[in-house]
Amino acid sequence: MLRAIWRMLKRIFICLFIAQLIYIVALKWINPPTTATMIANRISLAGSNAHFHKKWIAYDNISPDVKVAVMAGEDQLFPVNNGFDVNAIKKAWLHNQYSKRIRGASTISQQTAKNVFLWQGRDWFRKGLEVYFTFMIEKIWGKKRILEVYLNVAQMGPHTFGIGAASEQYYHVSAKALSASQAAMIAACLPDPYRYKVQPPAGMTVFRQQWILGQMKNLEGYPDIQKLINE
């Protein structure tokens, strides 16, 4: 009986592994239809008058300022790291040992892996899966595709997902027409879209926006970043 159960579990595991591998490869060319966070967000709207906003925008139709802004605010080593920032992880770990306020150290690749394949949370099991999926998309998708998917699945406001929906909701323009200031304001909300409000902008959002604008100027001359945003 135990051997039969073990064989069944092993077959289930192999099937699930093959299925998720096929899904990862397919998403290199096919846009993710939805995510766990989006589904949960849609469910939370049941019975309310609020609307869910999501719009996919191709990489070439996204302003270069948007790409630089999210890298400036979330992961300045994105073009050259392997999906993980070891120094940031060490600093966050040390900080979290002595502070009640948890500091994250997720790269854009890690956030994309979490948003597309997993659920929100900080438990070790989810973090372990996040490491696996981050490694896989780095190897299979490449930086350009990772950034494109990130900009389209990240939550950028209450019930607002992706730069296409955010640009239209906040500034009534396309994602390609966003100015550097507008791009930095949207990027400023990424750590917590409910706390860092874009419209009307919260004081802490404006503070982050100004910091991001400064970092964007510092990153302008980096050839790796210029190559990525112009691919």
The structural domains of the chain, ordered by start, are 54-229 (1.10.3810.10)
Structure tokens, 76? 């300045």
Q: Where on the phi/psi map is residue 179: left (φ > 0), alpha (ψ -120 to 50), or beta? A: beta
Q: Are 224 and 79 in contact (CB under 8 A)?
A: yes
Q: What is the pLDDT of residues 158-190, one digit of tens each?
A: 999 999 999 999 999 999 999 999 999 999 999
**Each residue of 73-85: b (16+ CB within 10 Å) or e?**
bbbbbbbebebbb
Indicate the average pLDDT of the chain. 90
Q: What is the pLDDT of residues 123-136, one digit of tens each?
A: 888 889 999 999 99
Task: Find, among 177, 88, 106, the residue nearest to 146 by Cα.
Answer: 106
Judged against a pLDDT cut of 70, whether residue 33 lies above it is answered with yes
Confidence of residue 12 (pLDDT cuts 50, 70, 90): very high
Q: Are 105 and 134 in contact (CB under 8 A)?
A: no
d(CA 227, CA 118): 30
* Bridge partner residues of 155 (DSSP): 161
Judged against a pLDDT cut of 70, whether residue 149 lies above it is answered with yes
Which pLDDT value is given to residue 93?
43
Which pLDDT value is given to residue 99?
47
Number of H helices, E strands in the chain: 11, 3
Q: What is the pLDDT of residues 68-118, one digit of tens each?
A: 999 999 999 999 999 887 776 555 444 454 445 554 568 999 999 999 999
Judged against a pLDDT cut of 80, whether residue 206 lies above it is answered with yes
Which pLDDT value is given to residue 7?
86
Which pLDDT value is given to residue 95?
40
